[in-house]
Amino acid sequence: MMKTKYYLLMSIFILFLTAACSTKVTYVPIVGAENVEAGSLFSVGEVSDKSGFKFPEGEEEKIVLTEAMTGALKKALEAKGAQGEGQWLINVDITEYAPGNAFARWLMPGAGATVLGVVAHIVNQEGVAAARIPIRRSIGFGGGYTIGAWEYVFDEVAEAIVETLINPEKRTPSKN
């Protein structure tokens, strides 16, 4: 009986852990548009903040969302050898941001979640859209090891965008 309770508690804990931190990525090709081939080169285009998020007074200098996303994308492209003046631009709309709180996540999983939602628009040099990649990354579990998630979440989202672009097997078909 004690072993059964232990396994049940461990199963709930693992479920909590996997459900509390997630990245949802969808690749949505534009019907009739040019295909984004593996091995293509990309450059970062326009990054805009449509989240409406404002840091509390006195913390405005903490991070500029558009600069954090631009820097993370350039770093991810460079790391994968996909950065260059190729035929594709990555324009990004930041649609959702919440810096969260690691202490709150430690006290109560789900509370104090760090969230970043973006839509990456893949366009050719003429500005014609080929695909869009909506991504939502949520870090809702953990304490000390998630300190700084408000900043490194940009790296994780940028890496997911680049991985989706350079690895067609990672492209999940859209249900839309």
Q: In tens digits, what is the pLDDT along the chain, a chain of 176 residues?
A: 566 655 555 544 444 444 445 678 889 999 988 899 888 999 999 999 999 988 778 766 678 889 999 999 999 999 999 998 878 999 999 999 877 765 554 455 555 678 889 999 999 989 999 999 999 987 655 544 444 456 668 999 999 999 999 988 877 655 54
pTM for this prediction:
0.78
Q: Alpha-carbon Rg of the chain, whole angstroms? A: 18
75 three-state secondary structure: helix
d(CA 113, CA 143): 11
Secondary-structure percent of the chain, ordered helix, strand, coil, rounded to 5: 40, 30, 35
